Structure 1
Amino acid sequence: MSAPASPADTVRAARPGDEAAIAQIQIASWVSALGERLGPRRQTAFDPVAVEAGWHQAIVEPPSEGHQVFVALGDEGEVCGFVACAPPKDLIALEVSPDRRRRGHGSRLLAAAADHMRAHGAETMRLWALEKDRVRVDFLRMAGFAEAGMRRELDGPGITIPEQLWHTDLTPEA
């Protein structure tokens, strides 16, 4: 018989009340990745109330039955990362608090997302990621993702945010 999982090994469906932590993690991740491009507005570039409201909506009234937000829990049961799935193949967001990276949370979130996407018929999974986010790029490559050769630019808070599309195959190897 195996030992019970510790909270640090847990990924669960997000529930109402998780949105504040999710918003805080997302903003911290954006600030960490965009860094100097935000300039002196680093700490005020994003509206935490609006980000939190968006995640609350995604949790309590997802746009489709397949949409799902999962959270990773830290040692004390606190939310330290999240992934948002939009079947059939899109991950809307995958973030781990910058101070909690390299502890397996991202891998567990990605595994939960892959299982969820497969259960909804996905054969591939894709995610847009900031072009210059070296930590994310390295993680995605190690997780079996490859660049899809597509780029886009988003309007950010006074800046343009370039992203590239990453994808991976979810079908079992023959």
Structure 2
Amino acid sequence: MSTPASPADTVRAARPGDEAAIARIQVESWVSALGERLGPRRHTAFDLEAVEQGWRQAISEPPSPGHQVFVALGDEGEIVGFVACAPPKDLIALEIAPDRRRRGHGSRLLAAAADHMRSHGARSMRLWSLEKDRVRVDFLKMAGFAEAGMRRELDGPGITIPEQLWHTDLTPEA
């Protein structure tokens, strides 16, 4: 007989009410990754309420039936990370609370996203990542992603945010 999974091993579809935790994790992750570039206004650079509203809409009114947000749960059942899928192959966001990294949450979220994307016909998966985010770059490499050779710059709160595109194959190896 197998032992039931602990909440720390759980990934589930996001549901209404999860948006505040998702927004908090996203803003904490951005501040952690961009902190030096944000300067003294790092804790007020992002509009948490606007981010929360965006996630509320993504969860309650996804743009297509294939769009899905998944959350990872910590030991006490709290949300510690999330991934947002936009088939056929895009991950819109993948964030783990900075104080909860390196505990397997990102790997479980990526596995859920890959399964979801495959079920919607994806043969590959891609994600934009901050260029200077070494923690994320190392994680993506370990998870089998490679640089796609594309870069872009986003307008951030008083700064330009350079990103690079990462991709991975979802087809089974022969």
* Structure-2-length-normalised TM-score: 1.00
Cα RMSD for the two superposed structures: 0.3
SS in 2 for 1:45: coil
Partner of residue 72, structure 2: 72
Query: For residues 12-91 of structure 1, what are the structure 2 equivalents within 5 Å?
Result: 12-91=12-91
Q: Distance in 2 between matches of 1:26 and 1:39?
A: 18
Shift of 1:144: 0.1
> Once the two structures are superposed, what CA deviation does each residue of 1:39-68 show, in whole Å capped at 9, x if it has no partner?
001000000000000000000000011000
Q: Distance in 1 between matches of 2:34 and 2:2?
A: 42
Partner of residue 150, structure 1: 150
Q: Distance in 2 between matches of 1:8 and 1:101?
A: 12
Q: Distance in 2 between matches of 1:40 and 1:64?
A: 39
Q: Distance in 2 between matches of 1:41 and 1:171?
A: 44
Shift of 1:35: 1.3
Partner of residue 4, structure 1: 4
Q: Is there any run of 5+ residues in structure 2 with no aligned partner, and where?
A: none
Q: Which runs of 4+ in 1 moved over 4 A?
A: none
> What amino acid is the match of 1:75?
D
Q: Distance in 1 between matches of 2:2 and 2:11?
A: 18
Q: Identity rate of aligned residues, in percent? A: 89
Q: Distance in 2 between matches of 1:93 and 1:18?
A: 15
Note if 1:92 corresponds to 2:92.
yes
SS in 2 for 1:43: coil
* Structure-1-length-normalised TM-score: 1.00
Q: Distance in 2 between matches of 1:48 and 1:167?
A: 29
SS in 2 for 1:70: strand
Note if 1:134 corresponds to 2:134.
yes
Q: Distance in 1 between matches of 2:171 and 2:41?
A: 43
Q: Distance in 1 between matches of 2:129 and 2:89?
A: 15
SS in 1 for 2:94: strand
> What amino acid is the match of 1:4?
P
SS in 2 for 1:127: strand
Partner of residue 105, structure 1: 105
Q: Is there any run of 5+ residues in structure 1 with no aligned partner, and where?
A: none
Q: Distance in 2 between matches of 1:108 and 1:35?
A: 27
